[in-house]
Amino acid sequence: MKRKTLGILGGGQLGRMLALAAQPLGVRVTVVDPDEHAPAQVAAEHVPLPYDDWDALDELGLSDVVTFEFENVPEDSLKRLERLRPVFPRANALRAAQDRWEEKSLFLELGISAARTLRIDTSEDAEKAFDELGPYLLKTRRLGYDGKGQIFVTDRSRAAEAHAELQGVPCVAEEKVNFQRELSVVLCRGQDGTIVSYPVVQNTHKSGILHLSLCPAPNMSPELEAKAKSLATRLAEKLDYVGVLALELFERDGELLANEFAPRVHNSGHFSIEGSVTSQFENHVRAVLGFPLGSTDPVGYSAMVNLIGDLREPAALLALPDVHLHDYGKEPRKNRKVGHVTVRAQSREELDARLAEVLAIVSAPSSASA
Ligand code: AMP
């Protein structure tokens, strides 16, 4: 039997968790990441070269299949890789997710509701958008993440200034959605079209960065759960998608509005390492290599708390029952995701009690968090 090999563009924490999930399957992983301290190197062969370095891409192209852990893959690099090996997810998904205008147009085409969105090319467009939308979020079409590249425009007279602050690049203006909560669906689609979905998760953000995910989301009616999954499924099928895909949603008055989708494993799916029969990372590896997918059934109730800025002393967290720490091996830095904690329990009440203890430890002031 010949063992499979997987190439990953990007060696951050997502690449690391993918590589760790690939190991028990006997899959050898190579990652390309210019960072000499790339977190994935603990579980993968690391090529420390830029994403557009032809030699690095050729090395990645020696793997059976290539995937990526971030969406801003340079266009030419993607084309080169596609000439060498199958790349999953395919380029169409990546292109749609790279550009917020294309993404919203795709939602519209598929009948997936989203915040009213206007295209902004000039400062006049930014001003006129206020007349139509009222207070809105100005977001760069490309390269935004974790709330970066976006400004909340609350006043017409500040619209042009906000656009200038974003360097006048092509943007979108999105109606400010007064949602009750944020949800996400993580699914995985195999090469044969089989789809498995994780339970819908409820997410809380702080300063635009994911803080907490609860699995399953509390108070989900079966109808809303089914609706959320059907929207993500529609997207995956339209794109003939292979691998893990995440769809972020706003719930407003019982209605679901799509915020954005990620053509990759997603932070709101990290709970699945301990909280599901098969993690999102293992299922992504299985999907892109053409293996059967694993069960996404939950293992009890779980919560995921991101560790932002710096890690805590592990002992206090590890003293709690069914609490699992993931240290990505990164240097502390303000607003940087350096790890996460998964909390698991047999009931919602038990989860809430354990989570309160974890949050008290995680949010205690730390000398290194400045
Ligand atoms: P994004 O980078 O687009 O996912 O935005 C990061 C976070 O900002 C989201 O998870 C929401 O909490 C908030 N946000 C983004 N877009 C909107 C919107 N149109 N209305 C209200 N809140 C938003």
Cβ neighbors of 204 (< 8 A, separation 6 or more) are: 182, 210, 211, 212, 213
- Ligand 1 atom with least separation from CA of 145: 2
Q: Which helix (H) or strand (E) holds 22?
A: helix 13-22
Q: Which three-class secondary structure state does DSSP give residue 161?
A: helix
pLDDT of 370 reads 39
Q: Whose CA is nearest to atom 7 of ligand 1?
A: 208
| CA–CA gap between residue 218 and residue 227 (Å, rounded) | 16
pLDDT of 61 reads 93
251 Cβ inside 6 Å of ligand 1: no
pLDDT of 369 reads 44
| CA–CA gap between residue 312 and residue 52 (Å, rounded) | 36
338 Cβ inside 6 Å of ligand 1: no
211 Cβ inside 6 Å of ligand 1: no
177 Cβ inside 6 Å of ligand 1: yes
246 Cβ inside 6 Å of ligand 1: no
174 Cβ inside 6 Å of ligand 1: yes
137 Cβ inside 6 Å of ligand 1: yes
Burial degree of 117 (CB within 10 A; 0-12, 13-18, 19+) = buried
- Ligand 1 atom with least separation from CA of 179: 21
pLDDT of 366 reads 65
Domains parsed from the chain with CATH numbers: 5-87 (3.40.50.20), 116-175 (3.30.1490.20), 181-363 (3.30.470.20)
Return the sign of the alpha-carbon dihedral for residues 161, 167, 168, 174: negative
pLDDT of 146 reads 66
148 Cβ inside 6 Å of ligand 1: no
pLDDT of 148 reads 79
115 Cβ inside 6 Å of ligand 1: yes
pTM of the model as a whole? 0.95
**Which of 70, 98, 137, 179 most suits a substitution to test ligand 1, by most atoms within 8 Å of the C-beta?**
137
Q: Residue-wise pLDDT tens for the chain (370 aa)?
A: 889 999 999 999 999 999 999 999 999 999 999 999 999 999 999 999 999 999 999 999 999 999 999 988 898 999 999 999 999 999 999 999 999 999 999 999 999 999 999 999 999 999 999 999 999 999 999 987 666 789 999 999 999 999 999 999 999 999 999 999 999 999 999 999 999 999 999 999 998 899 999 999 999 999 999 999 999 999 999 999 999 999 999 999 999 999 999 999 999 999 999 999 999 999 999 999 999 999 999 999 999 999 999 887 899 999 999 999 999 999 999 999 999 999 999 999 999 999 999 999 998 876 554 3
61 Cβ inside 6 Å of ligand 1: no
Here the tokens at position 308 are: 């932002």
pLDDT of 356 reads 97
pLDDT of 367 reads 52
Which pLDDT tens digit goes with each residue over 267-284? 999 999 999 999 999 999
Q: Please report where in the chains the tokens 């091996």 appear, as a residue.
A: 329
| CA–CA gap between residue 50 and residue 53 (Å, rounded) | 5
Which pLDDT tens digit goes with each residue over 200-224? 999 999 988 999 999 999 999 999 9
| CA–CA gap between residue 112 and residue 105 (Å, rounded) | 10
Contact 289, 233 (CB under 8 A): no
- Ligand 1 atom with least separation from CA of 136: 19
pLDDT of 1 reads 82
